[in-house]
Structure 1
């Protein structure tokens, strides 16, 4: 196989140059190009992509990225995409945006896609979110998806992304903790492999403190996925789809090195310049360097790959060390963000649901808080207390068949709160499963309360959804129910618990959602209760 690949690659190299009008005959099939990603051929594949300086217009990318990404699931992924794309088109939705794009730190850069391309990009991303609901933080997903849309068919882009996302952080960073630690890892690698550049960074920042030095590096992903010129980023992607995260670190170091070569000719800041200002100056200079790289894209790559003994074991050791170091800080920041409410995006829904408890704006905000795939149809009212009584028997008869449900409660004191249940309440009857645990549901569940002053829902998501690294250890007490009780969220206390009849309940601080008591008084009397069925438009 290796010999066959060498012949194939040699033919391409012998017939091509960066300035030629060569039209590649490469197709996405094993007959034309053997799989470059097999273990015994990785070195050949790396050499091939590193040293072929194809311009961005080169047609090799109509086949290369797919070939190196062809795993056993590639064709199945393409079919899944086509099926879900048909569902989206038939739903009548013209433009939607996935929830994970609303998270701070996501790099929004479409690389000048035309309008149709942007629509296709949005659909690709919503299908990724639908098929991978566990994804909550992938900073580069928008940018790299846009690059793929420029060159390959959307179903192939989906299959390539599935492979990249299926290998944890080996390719794309997929958690806030990993991203926060990655800047420190980049700094440590700079110190190890480019000590002279590291010392210059200390001089420019007027500090030897690691926390100061890492500040201008914290947006290093943006240097690559947002600021690099298009031709440069495309060449980075050529290598990245084979080499993964480690290659991005090489490019990060190369950008810092190019900054050093330029800034070392300039005088240092005045001695009385505050450290914060020095750090911000370096930050802006690094952005400027990546936006207008002073060398060719091939020279930039050559600088990155010239680093010797750059081992993944070293990267992993630094990364683990710094993840442990910043874990507490990241967790504290996440908890603070959880109670800041919903960050609005320009979603399009069919119709906002009608409620006796909340107004249309609040109802729309609650729809935005639902998983994106569930926003394609209007929630349907199944039960309301004022017309159907306080009996649990009536409640279960009305809502048992709902796949997902939204509860809205108004108390006699005027408090409004509720929760989203991601599983059917009929699961309470599964004797075998309930013998193991009375709790069921998934990490998509959430609880909320309505801020009285602005009528905006404050959403409390599962603590594990924002920190995949901690998910296994996070409390997972989402839903519980019996003939005469229901609970939404538990752990240390129940977020919402209603027992005996539908007239009264309690709300306490809850570990599962890191939520406070949702009512002004922990024991509350119910004035009105509404339960809506949430149906997926992609089924």
Structure 2
């Protein structure tokens, strides 16, 4: 062990030539008993070596010191690295000490507030109203050009953990179905290096279907954007609020995330709206060798070309179409939550617009990374599953404290942040994968139908979106609040449009002969009726009533599984089959041919747009009894009984338990009609123009 005397002779040296050898005679101290070891210190900016008699020696100080600050070289430790070597001098105990001191770096003494003032001063020359990123620090978009820390590159990790090496070989030899099962079970969750290698293998497979950027592209981009000094940039246009989930990253890691996001913004100009990208970069950076590899992974996901297995939405149009698709699924699998929000007069759009951020922003890291395991293999569909599982858990939680919830949107996000109080990560994933979702093809069809509806409504960016309000709504059957609830229940692509009254017994008279001419040529429609006992019920009917005549005068059923029935008074309930089959998807060639023959593109005299609604015109087998009618009777549902049946004068009817919708009796079995209305959807024409 190296021992250095703390005698006055040594400490009296004012200057030590660190480049030349210096001899120290220790013979005069042989009679001093046991010598005490001490550390050498180089005070900042002096180059002098002084002993522990003047400085408090820290315990267990390493001779090899490295800069421990996370952020940059400016805040690095100014202490000097000293390498001490001794050469025994023989029997007389004389030794030589050779010390080399690295010049201490100059400490930056500027306070954080002054640095912030300087950044703000520089921003005065930039265009006005340019948003800047803030990450709970006053450093905004200040980018350090230095790379993040690396470690472990000299170690063969497989030899330190043979079990992980075997697991990795299993991953390499597995097909897609086996990888899916591995991801769901957490096969590569530990250790860290196994998950990192699994991710790179999966992304390499994804890269075969995408036009990806290589690591050289990233180096070129960083050279163009950042140079060798700190720079300040507006946060990318695809980030909605400039927020970056930290996910346990240090300041160096957050700096790298910013750099990658800026490079993605420069490399992919078509990416205009993508709120989840910062979270994905932050998560993937944990398991990337460097920034360039993380950039390569993100570029592969963004540019993936398989139309039925997408990863990342790139515009507001596609992002909101996905949001609407999730809303349709939530309407099906989480019954009741839409009614709570709609009846509270809060915005369903704002609530559902956060759905993907529940996963890649609000979920804790250990939950989000398990979702990422499966997301990289299965794509977007797994996000629907996890969000539905979260929403179902939230529904249970919020139902017991409704009186204390003022803002469902913020309450949901707080719930997800504290999900560990309600479910473990394994239980959450088990709940998610127990949901029987439609096929990937069906989901793609619904997604495209929602996107087409947005385009038809002129909603291409966030500024052009407007939530549906009844406006000059007037009904003899329902109130404005009740109509808002009904509009929250119908498919998202139709809820974009305002309701328009097509038929009313008050205005058009009470008979089926007057009913059919007013409603034929329109789809979908909402039937509302109020009994003389003030009970209110109705049905959402997805198909055009014209189809009742497609085989002459024979009474037959038609419609799709998007049809549902509901009650509004005395209680609000909706009844629909649990398993969703997206309309417009046919399993056989015969069904597809039938659809093309039986669903011509009708054009109503009032100009209502049929092209956005044509996505549900595939007809189910005769066993699917949704709607039917002739000149004498009108039926809604027919499996085991009729949910609603009306006689030709529309003055009386009957309700029974119905297996079509799994619905109980909607009102008193035999009832008298006080008022009946049928509502359609309309975007441009006013109600006065619609009604003849």
- What TM-score do you get using the length of structure 2 for normalisation? 0.39
Q: Which has the higher contact order (CA 8 A, sep 6+)?
A: 1
Bigger proportion of residues as helix: 1
Larger radius of gyration: 2
